[in-house]
Amino acid sequence: MRAFFLFVLSLTVALSVPNTDTFQEKMDLQNAKSMFERAFGLYCSGETQDMIGAYHELIDKFEHSTNSEIRLITSQAMSNLALAYAEVNDTKAELNAHERIISKFINSNDDGIELITSKSLLRKGYIAFAANDTKGEIETAEKFIARFADTDNENIKIALAGVMTTLGRHYTLLDEYRKAIDISSKFMDKFGNYQDEYMQNQILGNLMMLSTNYIKLGEFKSGFASYQKIIDIFKNSTNPDIIRIVGGAVTNKIEIEICNNIKPSFSDENSKIAAKSEYSAFMYEFLQIIYKAQNANQSAALKSLKKKYADFNFRRLNVNFDFSDLDNWQKKLKSPEKNWIKECIDFLKEFYYK
C-alpha cells in the first residue's frame, strides 16, 4: 500500500499548473495538491483516522470541480481512501468509497481516472467473491465489461480478459449456457489471437467453456469445433497442465460422439495426443473398447486394460468424471449390446471409485 501511495503522490506532484482562465482555478488546484500531500503526510505518520478525515475533506471540497487536474486528484484521493478503509478492515466503508468512484467517474475517458475506476470495479468484484456473493460478482463483472469492452488501455485489457473468463465460468455453473457462449465468443473475437502465456491460458479456458456449453445445448457441431480448436492450438504445448487438458479434449469429444451415435474421431494424431497424458491415454483405450462393445463382448479387452493400467487411479490424478452421458446412452440400447456396454461402464466405475 505504501508503494501505491508513493506512486499516486508522484503523479500528483508532477502535475503542472494549467493555463487556467481564472486566478481562482489556479488557487483551487494548488489547494487540492496541498490537501492531498497533507493526507499523505498523515499516512506516513501512521495517523490513519486523521488521514481518512483529510481525504474526506479534500473530496467533499472538490468533488464537483470540472477542472481536469483537480478531478484526477479527487479520484486519487477517493481511491486512497478506499485503500485506507481496506487496511483497517472496514469493508462497508471501503465498498462505499468504491461505489462513489464508480458512480462519479464511470464515464470518464481520462486515462488516469479510467484506470482508477477499473481498479474500483475489480476490487468490488473481489469483495463480492470473498463474501460468496455470486450475484454481486456477476453484476460487477457485467458492469466492468460494458464499460471497458472497447478500451485501448493495455492494463485494463488484461483485466478485461480475466473478468470475461470469470463471468463465462459463472454463467456455465448457473446453467446459463447461452449467456456463457455469448461472453466466451466475444472473448475469442477480442483476444483469440493473443500469444502471451496469460492470454493463452484465458483462451484455453474460454474454448473449454464453449465446448461444454454448446454440448449442453445439443449443438454438437459447434461444440466439436471448439474442442478441435483446443487440439489444433495447443497440441504441441509442453506444459503438463495444458497437455492434460488437450488430451481430455480429445477423449471428451470422442465420448460425446459415441454417446450420440456419431462416428468417433479415432485417428493416429488423436491417439498420439491422448498418449501424452496418463488420464487421456487410459480413456482413449477405454473408449475404443466401449465402442467395439456395441458389436461384441469385450471382457477379454477389459481384463487386458485392467492389467495394463493396474496403477491408474482417478483420485490420484484429481479427475472428476461424469458418468451421466454413458449411463443414459446405455439405457437406450437393446440386448445383447446393452449388457456389453454396461460391463464396460461398470469396469470404468470400478476404476473411478477404487
pLDDT at residue number 260: 93
Task: Tell me the C-alpha distance between 172 and 195, whole Å.
Answer: 25
Among 23-37, 184-198, 280-294, the range scoring the smallest mean pLDDT is 23-37
pLDDT at residue number 7: 37
* CA distances (Å), origin 129, targets 132, 138, 142, 251: 5, 9, 14, 33
Report, as an integer, the average pLDDT of 144-155: 94
Which residue ranges make up each domain of the chain? 82-146, 149-223, 235-354
Q: Give the pLDDT band of residue 11 (cuts 50, 70, 90).
A: very low
Q: Is the pLDDT of residue 117 over 70?
A: yes
| Share of residues in the chain with pLDDT > 70 (%) | 94
Task: Tell me the C-alpha distance between 250 and 101, whole Å.
Answer: 47
Q: Is the pLDDT of residue 77 over 70?
A: yes
Residue with cell 465420448: 255
pLDDT at residue number 148: 96
Q: Give the pLDDT band of residue 130 (cuts 50, 70, 90).
A: very high
Q: Is the pLDDT of residue 47 over 70?
A: yes
Q: Give the pLDDT band of residue 21 (cuts 50, 70, 90).
A: low
Cα–Cα nearest to 36, from 1, 16, 10? 10
Q: Is the pLDDT of residue 14 over 50?
A: no
272-286 burial string, b = 16+ CB within 10 Å, else e?
ebbebbbbbbbbbbb
Task: Tell me the C-alpha distance between 190 and 212, whole Å.
Answer: 20
Write out the DSSP string of 113-157: HHHHHHHHHHHHHHHHHHTT-HHHHHHHHHHHHHHHTT---HHHH
Q: Give the pLDDT band of residue 16 (cuts 50, 70, 90).
A: very low
Cell of 230: 483446443
Q: Is the pLDDT of residue 258 over 50?
A: yes
Q: What is the mean pLDDT of the chain?
A: 91
Report, as an integer, the average pLDDT of 182-207: 95
Burial class (CB in 10 A: 0-12, 13-18, 19+), 66: exposed
Write out the DSSP string of 191-240: HTT--SHHHHHHHHHHHHHHHHHHHHTT-HHHHHHHHHHHHHHHTT---H
Report, as an integer, the average pLDDT of 247-267: 95
Q: Give the pLDDT band of residue 43 (cuts 50, 70, 90).
A: confident
Peptide bond connecting 336 to the previous residue in cis, omega within 30 degrees of 0: yes
Contact between 84 and 100 (Cβ < 8 Å)? no
pLDDT at residue number 18: 46
263-318 pLDDT, tens digit per residue, is 999 999 999 999 999 999 999 999 999 999 999 999 999 999 999 999 888 888 88
Cα–Cα nearest to 180, from 222, 221, 151, 150? 222
Report, as an integer, the average pLDDT of 76-85: 93
